[in-house]
Amino acid sequence: MSTLASTAVELARWQFALTTLFHFIFVPLTLGLAPLLAVMQTLWHRTRDERWLRLTRFFGTLFLINFAIGVATGLVMEFQFGMNWSAFSAYVGDVFGSPLAIEGLGAFMLEATFIGLWIFGWDRLAPRVHLATIYLVWAGTWLSAYFILAANSWMQHPVGYELNSQTGRAEATDIFEILFQGFVLFAWGHAIFAGLMTGGFLVLGVACWHLRRGRNIAMFRSAAKLALIVVLPVSIVQLVWGSEFGVAVTDAQPMKIAATEALWDTEQPAGFSLFQIGGFTESDQTPSFDIEIPRLLSFLATNSFDGQVVGINELQSQAEQQYGAGNYVPDVRLVYWSMRVMAYLGTLSVLLALWGGWLLWRNKLEGAKWFQRAAVAGIALPFLSNFAGWILTEAGRQPWVAYGLLKTEDAVSGSVSAWSVGLSLGVFVSLYAALGLVDLYLMRRYARLDPPEVGGDEEGAPQPAPAY
């Protein structure tokens, strides 16, 4: 492969990584905020307690600011497959395209149409019907995540297809297997819990900021309580779920797990490395410093404290036998640390949620200044975990783009020059940087406003948040 061609692959990979991570700032927020908004509005609908209406509108504004960018960056994701990865698209489109098309028809359209009805329908729809629109938005966001993850899971673990020797392309043979394989269910649950944590910690952090300021106490106490009711169980379940997902990945992609643990040689039982210096490359396989919990990796990877975990070296030679000469080891340092960032921040999230739950139980949330500070900082936790999780799952699949079928270096568009990819990378990075800054500015601004007043009746006084 020529230098320019491999530059094109590298640039296309950077572009995919950056645009996906940026997109995934907004996706989990909508996954988490949509159900929270639905619950808030339902509480208002049931109790007629005005503070729930004000909270719905307040957090609705934050939701909308992010929803817009999610739509825009999502379009880039779809186009990118054809633009930068046309060899991949032609090779797997028969299988991979269906979940994407179903997502558009069945989920995205639902979400986009009913969000318009929700924003503009407050005084045009009967209250029950208007309430139903936010539930449909919620359904749309969760379904959308499902189909996208079905497509991604197929790249991680291709099933329900066969290779057509005439066309040299993969063709679907079993849509149910593609849509409902175990990998999808694990990935979807993991993403939904991540979304609920992202939305929940955002509501918690914003509510605590207002509690600290000492205004609208009763209202934001309710918001913080609702957020804690969500994040406390979800963050605990997520730890367990993530670890079970790890077991599933060990079956499907043993190399990913071995690389994630920087486990070069097969061990039984295998210890879990908490922190290590060195030991990340083929020429340097033994760490110079290492803190390890005995037997824990065996348990995490196989659900048994005596389980055998196969090492990188053995898997590499197996892969060479199966697929021919080549390097089948992902970037060990990158996946080792991304897994740990994800898991440690996830644990921190549980601790924060437990702290908040205890304060709530003892009725001390309003006065707990230190917790309120921590909760504001805690808004960042799920975002960073989400990033780390995607880096782990995508970088850990390398050198494959579709595991065992197609290598990343063979998946790019042959007709697109490195210059074109570089140009579009530059354009997206600058555009997204500007978007990110404006989004952050708007989020800060709107998160710090007092929630809009509502008059005695629905046709009440103007509120300080017009959409256009």
Partner 1 sequence: MTLEIFWFCVIGLLWTGYFLTEGFDFGVGMLLPVLGRSEDDRRTMFEAIGPIWDGNEVWLVIAGGATFAAFPVWYATMFSGFYLALLLILVLLIVRVLSFEWRGKAESPRWKAMWAWLNTIASIGAPVLWGIALASLLNGVPIASDQSFAGSFGDLFSAYTILAGIAVCLLFALHGAVFLMLRTLGDLRERAQRAAAGLAPLAALVGAGFLVWTLVVASDRNDKDLFPGVVPVAVAVLAALSAVLLVRAGNERWAFAATATTIVAVVVTLFVSLYPRVMVSNPGFANSLTVDNASSADYTLTVMTVIAAVLVPLILLYQAWTYHVFRARLGGDDAGSPVDLLARRTGG
Does position 102 interact with partner 1 (CB under 8 A)? The reply is: yes
Q: Tell me how many residues contact partner 1 (CB under 8 A).
A: 87
Candidates 236-244, 323-331, 374-382, 458-466 — which segment interacts with partner 1 by CB under 8 A? 458-466
132 belongs to the binding site for partner 1 (CB under 8 A): no
Segment near partner 1 (CB under 8 A), from 57-65, 204-212, 335-343, 373-381?
57-65
Based on CB atoms, which residue is closest to partner 1, 105 or 351?
105
Interface pattern 12-51 for partner 1 (x via CB under 8 A)? ----------------------------------------
Considering beta carbons, is residue 94 or 290 the nearer one to partner 1?
94
Closest approach, Cβ 162 to partner 1, in A, equals 10
Ranges within 299-358 binding partner 1 (CB under 8 A): none
Least distance between partner 1 and beta carbon 225 (Å): 22
Which is nearer to partner 1, 60 or 254 (by Cβ)?
Answer: 60
Q: Which residues inside 133-152 make contact with partner 1, applying CB under 8 A?
A: none
Shortest separation between residue 118's beta carbon and partner 1, angstroms:
6
Q: CB of residue 87 vs partner 1: minimum separation in angstroms?
A: 7
Q: In this complex, which beta carbon is closest to partner 1, that of residue 109 or of residue 380?
A: 109
Q: How far is the CB of 248 from partner 1 (least distance, A)?
A: 26
Of 230, 252, 231, 89, give the one whose Cα is nearest residue 185.
252
Q: How many CA atoms are closer than 13 Å to the CA of 434, on its beta-carbon side?
A: 5
Distance CA 140, CA 69 (A): 17
Site string for partner 1, 374-393 (x = CB under 8 A): --------------------
Tell me if 9 contacts partner 1 by CB under 8 A. no
* Shortest Å distance, C-beta 47 to partner 1: 19
* Selected binder of partner 1 within 48, 123, 165, 321 (CB under 8 A): 123
Is 119 a binding residue for partner 1 by CB under 8 A? The answer is yes
Structure tokens at 401: 């783009």
Least distance in angstroms from the C-beta of 163 to partner 1: 11
Spatial CB neighbours of 312, under 8 Å, sequence gap ≥ 6: 255, 258, 259, 263, 264, 329, 332
User: What residue has token string 């595991």?
Assistant: 403
Of the pair 213, 445, the CB lying nearest partner 1 is at 445
Smaller CB separation from partner 1, 99 or 346: 99
Among 6, 46, 47, 101, binds partner 1 (CB under 8 A): 101
Site string for partner 1, 158-177 (x = CB under 8 A): ------x----x-xxx-x--
> Closest distance between partner 1 and the C-beta of residue 50, in Å?
15
Q: Looking at 21, 104, 357, 374, which residue binds partner 1 (CB under 8 A)?
A: 104
Q: How far apart are CA 310 and CA 259, in angstroms?
A: 10
- Binding to partner 1 (CB under 8 A) within 60-99 occurs at 60-61, 63-65, 67-69, 71-76, 78-79, 81-84, 86-87, 89-98
Please give, one letter per residue, the 3-state secondary structure of the chain: CCHHHHHHHHHHHHHHHHHHHHHHHHHHHHHHHHHHHHHHHHHHHHHCCHHHHHHHHHHHHHHHHHHHHHHHHHHHHHHHHHHHCHHHHHHHHHHHHHHHHHHHHHHHHHHHHHHHHHHHCCCCCCHHHHHHHHHHHHHHHHHHHHHHHHHHHHHHCCCCEEEECCCCEEEECCHHHHHHCHHHHHHHHHHHHHHHHHHHHHHHHHHHHHHHHCCCHHHHHHHHHHHHHHHHHHHHHHHHHHHHHHHHHHHHCHHHHHHHCCCCCCECCCCEEEEEECCCECCECCCCEEEEECCHHHHHHHCCCCCCECCHHHHHHHHHHHHCCCCCCCCHHHHHHHHHHHHHHHHHHHHHHHHHHHHHHCCCCCCCHHHHHHHHHHCHHHHHHHHHHHHHHHHCCCCEEECCCEEHHHCCCCCCCHHHHHHHHHHHHHHHHHHHHHHHHHHHHHHHCCCCCCCCCCCCCCCCCCCC
Interacting positions 174-213 with partner 1 (CB under 8 A): 175
> Please, which of residues 397-456 interact with partner 1 by CB under 8 A?
413-416, 420, 423-424, 427, 431, 435, 438, 442, 445-446
Q: How far is the CB of 197 from partner 1 (least distance, A)?
A: 23
Give the shortest CB-423-to-partner 1 separation in angstroms.
8
